[in-house]
Amino acid sequence: MLVRTDILRPHPLPAMTSRRSVIKLGAAAVLAPMFNRGRFTLPHLPQQQYSARAIELMQRATVIDMLSPLHIASNGNKWWQTPDSITAEDFAPFKASGIHVFHTAVGFGGPNGYIQGQQFFHRQNSMIAARPDLFMRIDSADDFAKVKGSGRIGILLGAQNSDHFIRPDYNPRDMLSTVDEFFLYGQRVSQLTYNSQNWFASGSTERVDGGISDLGVQLIERMNKVGMAVDTSHCGDRTTLDALSLSKKPALITHSNARALASNHPRTKPDEVIRAAGKAGSVVGITGVRMFVKGSEPTTVEDFFNHIDYVAKMIGVEHVGIGSDIDLQGYDDMPPDEYKRLKDSYKGSYGFRDKIDIEGIDHPKRMFDVTEGLIRRKYSDDQILGILGGNFQRVLSDIWAGMPGK
């Protein structure tokens, strides 16, 4: 949803409020021995208890958050600028989160999209290369198993727009070579557009949704050929339907919700689109962003789980995943000026309220809370493993099976 390079803020994991106290917890807690019964407080988490079943499922799962930047920051941060300075304390919340793979896509575009894209992927790759003890880039299906057993976190590189495929000296034929170029930089997912109209598609907040353009058809064909996933989360309804129909590989909805439960918010998906996603073999990543969950207060974590239930009942639980659309700490603890600037950068149709986050899934251990909620909702172990990451792992493996050299 809300990740743009022009509003990235420094975020060196400062001391948190009591609601979001940083979990100084390493791999030992995530890999704690399995328990047979009861509820357990993980080390350094005196106020958060999780059941034995939830802990065991988190151990078994390959946990994938299909939209979670490492930090939401405004002026860059030390992770990109001086990765050697990342401390064990900085990294502890990421290890403790239980999340193995973070899809770190951001939104950038416009006439400088190509340059912004190069800069973003250069920074990400530089960070990963400088700290191979902490990070691993996810390039292929084999990397899911590798990262889980490595003690590192996986970085799945993506973009929330495709403007960066257009060079400043635009020539339609260049677009095909730039897809190949960014694929070599490690990009494995690209959203067609970020809310607005671009060369390829119409965004979710545009007055008119013209669907996929002729150039957009070529883009999808090229992405299919190289093995880059098509994402439609911020796309308009017709555009999303076009992408699901045109793509030879499942087009993804990495972070959106069911419009029927969200007061017709334009950034969510109507039933027609959700059904088409199921038929296409796609996966819908459910987000906890407040206004995408429910259009009025009170909005609670149970409303978030209602979206999982809704999509699962409509198209099958094998088509449901998680795309939280927040970093580990969420949005509501941002400095006031940056928080205001973020909200002001979107159209009024976004319908911001006082808060963006939802209590209960707005902290580093949120995937444990998601697991507990799925247990409460009577999902089976296999279904929970799929929602936590197995479903996205399956569909991404399918998409990437056509990569060069595979």
- Domains of the chain by residue range: 5-400
334, 287, 319: which is closest to 306 by C-alpha? 287
Amino acid at residue number 152: R
C-alpha span between 178 and 173 (Å, rounded):
9
C-alpha span between 162 and 159 (Å, rounded):
7
Phi, psi angles (nearest 5°) of residue 102:
-110, 120
Residue pair 216/200 in contact by the 8 Å Cβ criterion:
yes
Give the CA distances from residue 79 to residues 16, 19, 95, 263, in Å, rounded to whole numbers and listed in that order.
Answer: 18, 24, 15, 38
Region class of 303: left (phi > 0), else alpha (psi between -120 and 50), else beta: alpha
C-alpha span between 135 and 175 (Å, rounded):
30
Token pair of 142 as six digits: 């084999």
With a CB cutoff of 8 Å and minimum separation 6, the contacts of 140 are 400, 403, 406
C-alpha span between 383 and 401 (Å, rounded):
24
Handedness of CA 127, 105, 194, 232 (dihedral sign): positive
User: Which residues lie across from 153 on neighbouring strands?
Assistant: 135
Burial, 337: exposed, middle or buried (Cβ in 10 Å; 0-12, 13-18, 19+)?
exposed
What pLDDT score was predicted for residue 175? 77
What pLDDT score was predicted for residue 76? 45
Token pair of 201 as six digits: 């598609």
Phi, psi angles (nearest 5°) of residue 190:
-140, 125
Region class of 242: left (phi > 0), else alpha (psi between -120 and 50), else beta: alpha
Architecture of the domain made up of 5-400: Alpha-Beta Barrel (3.20)
Longest CA span, the chain: 63
Ordered per-residue pLDDT tens for the chain, 406 residues = 554 433 333 222 222 222 233 222 333 333 222 223 345 455 444 467 899 999 999 999 999 999 999 987 554 467 888 888 899 999 999 999 999 999 999 988 888 999 999 999 999 999 999 999 999 999 999 999 999 989 999 999 999 999 999 988 877 667 788 999 999 999 999 999 999 999 999 999 999 999 999 999 999 999 999 999 999 999 999 999 999 999 999 999 999 999 999 999 999 999 999 999 999 999 999 999 999 999 999 999 999 999 999 999 999 999 999 999 999 989 998 888 889 999 999 999 999 999 999 999 999 999 999 999 999 999 999 999 999 999 999 999 999 996 765 5
* Residues listed for the chain: 406
165, 188, 184, 185: which is closest to 175 by C-alpha? 165
Give the CA distances from residue 38 to residues 51, 57, 58, 60, 298, in Å, rounded to whole numbers and listed in that order.
Answer: 6, 15, 16, 18, 31
Sheet arrangement for strand 189-191? 158-159, 189-191, 229-231
Give Cα 267 distance to the centre of its chain: 15
Residue pair 284/256 in contact by the 8 Å Cβ criterion:
yes
Alpha helices (H) in 131-169, listed in sequence order: 142-148
What pLDDT score was predicted for residue 334? 86
